[in-house]
Chains A and B, each alone.
Chain A
Amino acid sequence: MLSEFFAAIADPAVPFIRYALLAGLLSSISFGMIGSYVVIKRMSYIVGAVSHVALGGIGAVILLNEKLGLAVSPIIGALVASVLAAVIISLVDLYSEERSDSVIGAVWAVGMACGIVCIALSAGYADPMSYLFGNILLISHNDLITITMLDLVVIFIVIRYYHVLKAASFDETFAVVRGINTVFLNILLNILIAITVVLMVSLVGVVMSIAFLTIPAAAASLVVRRLSHIMALGALLCAFFSTSGLFLSYTFDLPTGAVTIILSGIVYLALALCSKAIVRHRQ
């Protein structure tokens, strides 16, 4: 089974498996890093919103491509829409009296609805299911380049802002008193989340990228206690999940995104049960 999978990766006639593998491995680093912040700051609701809004961007690009005869990659549409959603959510959080979870919920649903309407309006064969749940056939060579570049941007920023992001996440009030621009940091983190979500949208889809930004880091936090360690282990787990998910889906002819998420869910659950048992044993 394994040798067949490796043969498929090496086969020049089926580049998409290779692309999917590379996309998964490349994005894993960003997912481990940003996923750690999502988990420790309890921000998965924002991930849900920006990832679903990505569908709006994808739909808009598909429709525009068709009407204007363009050939823009849907990933670009996803990126623009997600980042926009991240900025809107941050600003509402900061300046509006409105309850932020209501606004996040509204942004989430409206963004997704726009995507569905755009896809319905286009005459092409685009299937919303592919974008909701991922489809490795959607990853092109150019997308891989985009993913690499975005990945590098996220990694660079996270490393550069590591100390201040950690300190401000731990105690925002203290950071403000120290003269730190926490408004900027909050917007920056939301934008980084939006970019990271886009990295895996083709592989696991908008719905399941929420799980992929929380499960590996949450599982890692059961095992290690330092933020940098959670990031590293989260990234390793993410790479393992995406690779083995791809392998299982290829071998058993099942949808990649769904198989990957089920696998990560099982590992997370197992780790959670084990860590409970270990804690009890220690007591």
Chain B
Amino acid sequence: MKDIKIQVKDLSFRYDSRDVLKNVSFEIYDKDIVTIIGPNGGGKSTLLKLLLGILKPDSGTILIDGVPPKKLKKPVLGYVPQYSLFDPRFPISVFETVLSGRMKDGLFRYTAEDREITEQILSDIGLAEVKNNTFAALSGGQRQRVLIARALASEPEILLLDEPTTNIDVTTEDYLSALMKKLNKELTILLVTHDTAFTTAFQTRVLCVNTFVHEHPTEMVTVGDDTFNMIRHDIDLYNHRGHRKEDHHVE
């Protein structure tokens, strides 16, 4: 039996007297790779923020390694936001961005060890050549990789990725799915995504969030399955991706 990494029990969250999440319970085990899908406004982002400890649940509990997110002695969550949310003019280099994964609270200086780890991760993720570029000078796919590298620099046990394949070309997407497979050997991974094709690539557990949370075994998430009306939008995307790949092939 694998260890429970994240335990969510009877979790509810309301915003402006509307139920965003209601009586949500699930467990995520060590080295799981889990995809969180669901319609826009269904509560995916809220669930992510609750897991990160940015929002407080109205009722219910979230335990990470047995304690609430805010009470973790050492941060175990590696958060990878969407690259498109960043100010493209912010003056920060690739190296500095990844190094910031090592930041600690209070007055601190980066140590030689912090810099070594950063260098190592940059070369692992294939960003060593662009490490002195500004974040803004990179392509979308590269920016997303920088944000993954930053999360890895914090040496997390759980990686949380928010829509990692949004606005990303097919090559980077293939690279990311290979990277996720590799990282999953060491880490528990949670992916919030619209892209079910991306998830079927590695047989993940699938949590469908639409106020309530349902779990679907991966094999069942197939095109045209009536039971998945809730995620039809995602299935459309799946079809669309199929077309896109063909188009790509024809070119």
Binding site for B on A (CB under 8 A): 40, 160-161, 163-164, 166-167, 169-171, 173-181, 221, 225-227, 229-230
B15 at the A interface (CB under 8 A) = no
Instruction: Specify which of B77, B86, B87, B108 is in contact with A177 (CB 8 Å cutoff).
Output: B77
Assess whether A176 is in contact with B97, with CB atoms less than 8 Å apart: no
> B108: which A residues are within 8 A, CB to CB?
163-164
Q: A163-B110, A179-B75 are in contact. Are A170 and B90 (CB under 8 A)?
A: yes
Q: Scoring B residues 91 to 106 as 1 if CB is less than 8 Å from chain A, else 0, what string do you get?
A: 1110011001101111
Tell me the bound Cα distance from A230 to B134 in angstroms. Answer: 13
> A179: which B residues are within 8 A, CB to CB?
72, 75, 104-105
Assess whether A173 is in contact with B105, with CB atoms less than 8 Å apart: no
Tell me the bound Cα distance from A164 to B107 in angstroms. Answer: 8
Tell me the bound Cα distance from A171 to B110 in angstroms. Answer: 18
Main SS class of interface, B? loop
Tell me the bound Cα distance from A221 to B103 in angstroms. Answer: 25
For the complex of A and B, the 5 pairs showing the least CB-CB separation, nearest first, are: A167-B100, A227-B91, A177-B79, A225-B134, A167-B103
Assess whether A174 is in contact with B92, with CB atoms less than 8 Å apart: no
Assess whether A173 is in contact with B154, with CB atoms less than 8 Å apart: no
Assess whether B107 is in contact with A170, with CB atoms less than 8 Å apart: no
> A229: which B residues are within 8 A, CB to CB?
91
Assess whether B105 is in contact with A180, with CB atoms less than 8 Å apart: yes
Q: Give the most central of B81, B91, B109, B134: most A CB within 10 Å.
A: B91
Instruction: Specify which of A40, A160, A225, A226 is in contact with B107 (CB 8 Å cutoff).
Output: A160
Tell me the residues in window 49-85 of chain B with beta carbons closer than 8 Å to chain A beta carbons.
52-54, 72, 75, 77, 79, 81
B194 at the A interface (CB under 8 A) = no
> B53: which A residues are within 8 A, CB to CB?
176-177
Assess whether A170 is in contact with B79, with CB atoms less than 8 Å apart: no
> B110: which A residues are within 8 A, CB to CB?
163
> A169: which B residues are within 8 A, CB to CB?
90
Assess whether A175 is in contact with B75, with CB atoms less than 8 Å apart: no
Q: A163-B103, A163-B109, A167-B103 are in contact. Are A173 and B79 (CB under 8 A)?
A: yes
Assess whether B154 is in contact with A170, with CB atoms less than 8 Å apart: no
